[in-house]
Chains A and B, each alone.
Chain A
Amino acid sequence: MTRPSEDAVVKAARREASLAFGMWAIALLYTVTYCYLNGYGRSAEDLTFVLWFPDWVFWGIIVPWLTCVVMSVVFAFGIMGDESLGEEADADPESPTLASPEVHDA
């Protein structure tokens, strides 16, 4: 007997979760590396500013933060799918979906 095909929501959710983790990893790598190299162990003499921010805060945190906002828009409206989440099952604690012998013993 052939297995039914995997649900489209599951496939899409896996792909989107992978992309989200990818964004998280890139943000971590860039921000922590940049800030550690440029914001630690410096003296105040060579400190410069962009707006209110010390240079390392602006380039290491503010710029990637704003980039993430743009990426979020792209992700939400360009990448994320719009699959149906499905119909509501019975919410009763003794409902067949949650506690039927078929489910427990299958």
Chain B
Amino acid sequence: MPDSGTAVGYGTLAMLVIVMAVSVWLGTQAQKAVERGGFMKGYFLGNRGLGAWALALTATVQSGGSFMGFPSYVYTYGWVVALWIASYMVVPITGFAVLGKRFAQLSRRTGAITIPDLFDARYGDERVGLLTSIFIMSFMTFLMIAQFKAGALVMQMAWPGNESLAVAQQPIVDGVDEQEAQAEAIRQREAHETRRRRAYLVGLAVFSATVVGYTLIGGFLASVWTDLFQSVLMVIGVMILFAAVVPLASQGGLEQPTLNAIEVTGPQYAFGPGLPKEGLPPFLLLGGAISFFFVWPIAGMGSPASMVRVMACKDNQTMRRSIVLLSVYNVFIYIPLIIICICGRALLPNVAVGDEIIPRLAVWSTRDWSGGSLVSGLILAAPFGAVMATVSTYLVVIASGVVRDIYQRMLRPQAGDLEIKRVTYVVMILFGLIGVVSNIQPVNFLQTLIVFSATATASTFVAPALMLAFWRRATAAGTTVAMLAGAGTILTLFIIGSVASGTAFQAYMLFGMEPIVWGLTVSGLAGVVVSLCTTPPPDELVSQLFDAPVQPAPSPG
């Protein structure tokens, strides 16, 4: 059986440093672009100039979860995870074609820069905007905190000498009696853990300083440009890893990786509901399979980060091209990743921490290559880039919420550009620190935390966003209740699930369905019923946002 442990070289770290340097450079270039226009619209919306590539590849569809949590699930549970992620086939369509055009139009018509701006303008009620802002900041902060851990883990793995990826299952001890051997084993394990811990903390500090730094310098555009750069890195990383890993595992035929994986795990690795894990419920029953067709497409559509990106897109043609680009891109990311991780189970069957499968495969499969350390660094740069891009995006959204929707709108409407700029920097540093402090003791269950936050966000915003965009009769009260009902449903189901199971962040699966299905249903129903029971919005306001602009009558003569 191959040993999964292989020490990383300095080339791996060098590649990550290069990625960080390029990101900071892009941040400085973004700053120059922002300075050409007004601070607020330039810094938080990139002057509405996003092109097709930037929009398609940066709508934050890939996150730390794409390269850490998702591969970990494939490695652990088998082929059924392909069904778990399958709804990504419609994500480009639902992500851009449902709300994209209307949000882009409405944000222009109202001058909205943030999502709360848009809700405020749509209903002429600041309270709706404030509630939107509070929800966005709460859920985005959760999502961001989860990403800091992923960034620090990649840095930890890339750190030369910490042997993070080199540990064998049992310490090697020769020529001593059993008692001494046990004591030596404990000492080795403790020393190893100390090195890992040190590397994790250094990684956390370097990662945080870099991502907060470049986002602070260039704002929304820095986030978008680095996101684009990192998205390209991701696809290159996946392709290299595919070329390095899959031929090794497929030497006896293309079906060989699955057959080998079945041999070391069990036949259920190839089927639903997935390989059973002791003490855990089956991975994906029918209700779960249906639910995940809500989780990814609908959660993507309802993510405030995605909504802001469509508000910033240049024109309609950009959105159309983005649908096609993202469709092709997803095929080249997710399907190869599934195959890679199945091959990973065949090649390295005993990786204890599933989150490490991609980095381990990167280091292991390139160990004999000339310059393999650099290549593995390039592959590792993919998850690192995904995580940086996601944190950067969330930082911009959170900061815009605090600065635009609370500070400027509620506290200091007369604040000038310089003051707003300073407050923005303080807010970004503050939330960066929150991310660092929350991860000194790293959060567990990265993917579960991401699913919780994404689910809650979608349940809170999807129905109100659809009402805002398409339903003339929607009212401020209906929208407010829809948000509260969606968020309340998710929180209730997670609290019931956590109490019943005694595990943090455990959802209660009512009738076997994920909470998002119930959150969306309750939110939508509540929004419709309350809107119909309350006073219709003023005709003038609705007409301003739904009807064709009235052309001035030609002057006589």
Binding site for B on A (CB under 8 A): 3-10, 12-14, 16-17, 19-21, 23-24, 27-28, 31-32, 35-36, 39-44, 47, 49, 51-54, 56-57, 60-62, 64-66, 68-69, 71-73, 75-77, 80-95, 97-99, 102-106
Contact = CB atoms under 8 A, between A and B. Distances in A.
A19 B258 CA distance: 37
B278 interface: no
11 contacts: A3-B539, A4-B547, A7-B547, A7-B548, A28-B87, A32-B290, A47-B270, A71-B93, A72-B93, A94-B413, A106-B539
Counting chain A CB atoms within 10 Å of each CB, which of B109, B271, B321, B335 scores highest?
B271
Contacts of A4: 543, 547-548, 550
A5 B38 contact: no
A14 to B, nearest CB: 6
B315 interface: yes
Contacts of A77: 320, 324
B89 A75 contact: no
A5 B548 contact: yes
B286 interface: yes
B273 A40 contact: yes
Contacts of A65: 86, 88-89, 331, 335
Interface of B: 38, 40-41, 48, 79-80, 82-83, 86-90, 92-94, 97-99, 101-102, 104-105, 108-113, 117, 120-121, 124-126, 246, 250, 254-255, 257-258, 262, 267, 270-273, 286, 289-290, 293, 297, 315-317, 319-321, 323-324, 327-328, 331, 335, 339, 342, 404, 408-409, 413, 469-470, 538-541, 543-544, 546-550
Nearest to B86: A61
What DSSP secondary structure best describes chain A's contact surface?
Answer: helix
A85 B319 CA distance: 11
A90 B516 CA distance: 36
Contacts, number: 228
B218 to A, nearest CB: 19
B254 A91 contact: no
Contact of A23 (B90, B104, B270, B289): B90
Contacts of B98: 16-17, 20-21
Q: 5 tightest CB-CB pairs across the interface, nearest first?
A: A89-B111, A44-B267, A106-B540, A49-B255, A106-B538
Given A57-B83, A106-B540, 7 more contacts: A27-B87, A31-B89, A40-B271, A49-B258, A53-B79, A76-B323, A103-B544
Contact of A73 (B86, B327, B538): B327
Contacts of A85: 101, 104-105, 108, 315-316
B323 A72 contact: yes
B547 A6 contact: yes
B540 A102 contact: yes
Contacts of A90: 111
A16 to B, nearest CB: 5
A16 B93 CA distance: 10
Contacts of A8: 548
Contacts of A93: 404, 408-409, 413
Given A52-B254, A61-B82, A85-B101, A35 B272 contact: yes
A24 B86 contact: no
Given A7-B548, A28-B87, A88-B48, A17 B99 contact: yes
A12 to B, nearest CB: 7
Nearest to B342: A52
B475 to A, nearest CB: 14
B78 to A, nearest CB: 9
B267 A43 contact: yes
A32 B335 contact: no
Given A17-B470, A52-B257, A31 B86 contact: yes
